[in-house]
Amino acid sequence: MENKQQSELGTKSISKLLFDMAFPAITAQIINLLYNMVDRMYIGHISDTGAAALTAIGVTMPLIMVISAFAALVSMGGAPLSSIKMGKGEKQAAEKILGNCTTALVFLSVTLTAAVLIFGEKLLMAFGASENTIKYALDYLNIYACGTLFVQLALGLNAFITAQGFAKTSMLTVLVGAVLNIILDPIFIFKFHMGVKGAALATIISQGVSALWVIKFLTGDKTLLKIRRKDLKIDFKVLMPCVALGLSPFIMQSTESILAVSFNTSLLKYGGDLAVGAMTILSSVMQFSMLPLAGLTQGATPIISFNYGAANGTRVKEAFLLLLKVSLIYSIGLWAVAMLTPQVFARFFTKDVGLIQISIKSMRIYMAASFLFGIQISCQQTFIALGNAKTSVFLAVLRKIILLIPLIFILPLFFENKVAAVFFAEPIADMIAVTITSILFATQFKSVLRKLELK
């Protein structure tokens, strides 16, 4: 099994390998989003308190996103590095990375649980909770915090399953948790009359089962890399490169809440509730439409990392070019749909005529440069796959923190249509970020390939 799996990453047709790896990853992304939507639907239908409870869950989302981002901080750097070590034939070093990341995830879980339980109420009030919603938000968050260990292990260790080429097993981790959560939600919420507490309990039980599933696999006979007791002792020379490489996805995930607050406050100031409502629709469309790209890059990362470790420059180049080609085709198609038929997306979320009209106009601005997403995400993820921590962190900071967030507040100062100016921040930031990313990638990727040729 071990030789076969490693042989496939190093020898199997790149196109077949990418499909085999990406399809389960895309499916897992969609399953995860859908079960989150179902979760909110159940909560919204709680009699008498459904509206307040749903709003409260929305308030907890930024904190939950940050908790998830900490799993990425460890695993999204550790997993590609373990693939590179596997490509080099250094299995023990790869297992050392897995063991260190496992311990780090447990440590982070304990720290985050304590922080949320102690400071949760203050954080929720800062993120927009009111006297009407704080009770429900705290009820949900306090129970969710008690399951942080399950969340960290399920999300974090699952990346190491994908890194070995077991994409279908990785997908099943998400599927098992999603199906169980959908079954338990109505039982706890309605049958046991637990309300939002029931929703939180269903979530952590489901994540607990997913975590057990992952641990069972990574300690079993089918895995290539095993969690071994001797590798659990922290070695900072092993762990710190994982954290450094994981900073990029951590920044990308954790800053989503800051970005949402920036857009919403600026739009509320210039366009009122209708503009904020349009942003809610646009961000939902963007979140869903980006899932296939995220799945593609997740599928391509182990292929690129393994062959980079094996010093096979031809396959590294072929895998990147195929990822770029498929991602561009998708992003150009997405852009065309958004430009030609934006009303389809808007009407899916609302029947309000005024909100539909502003959403149509805003979508054509907001997604004007979405055809470039394929370039940005392919290059940025390939930097991570190659273990290039410095550049990947710079690019993560560049688009959102250096460009997008300042533009949201600066552009309205120079344009008469201030609502449109806020939305223009997105395509302007995208175009600048893609230009810089492309230049950096073109120069550094050539250098990588030359080094591999010398090896």
SS (H, E, C) 110-178: HHHHHHHHHHHHHHHHHCCCCCCCHHHHHHHHHHHHHCHHHHHHHHHHHHHHHHCCCHHHHHHHHHHHH
* Average pLDDT in the chain: 91
Nearest 5°: the CA angle 286, 287, 289 is 65
The H or E element containing residue 335 is helix 313-340
Would you state the pLDDT for residue 283?
81
Residue with tokens 């023990």: 92
Percentage above 70 pLDDT, the chain: 98
Which of 3-12, 32-41, 138-147, 331-340 has the weakest average pLDDT? Answer: 3-12
DSSP annotation of 414: T
For residue 119, give the amino acid letter.
F
Residues 6+ apart with CB under 8 A from 264: 276, 279
CB atoms near residue 334 (< 10 Å): 21
Asked if the model's pLDDT at residue 265 lies above 90, the reply is no
DSSP state of 234: -
Phi, psi of 384 (to 5 degrees): -65, -45
Q: What's the one-letter identity of residue 222?
A: K
Q: How confident is the model at residue 6 (pLDDT cuts 50, 70, 90)?
A: low
Residue 160 has pLDDT above 70, yes or no: yes
Q: 291-332 pLDDT, tens per residue?
A: 899 999 999 999 999 999 999 999 999 999 999 999 999 999
Calpha distance 396→430 (Å, rounded)? 12
What is the predicted pLDDT for the residue at 272? 85
Query: pLDDT-based confidence at 4, cuts 50/70/90?
Result: low
Which stretches of 341-417 are DSSP H helices? Answer: 342-349, 353-366, 373-385, 389-397, 405-410
User: pTM for this one?
Assistant: 0.88
Q: Helix, strand, coil shares of the chain as percentages rounded to 5?
A: 85, 0, 15
Q: Residue 5 has what pLDDT?
A: 53
> In the numeric block, which tokens belong to residue 311?
């010093």
Of 416, 413, 380, nearest to 395 (Cα)? 380
Distance CA 217, CA 210 (A): 11
Asked if the model's pLDDT at residue 288 lies above 90, the reply is no
Where in the chain are the domains?
2-234, 276-454
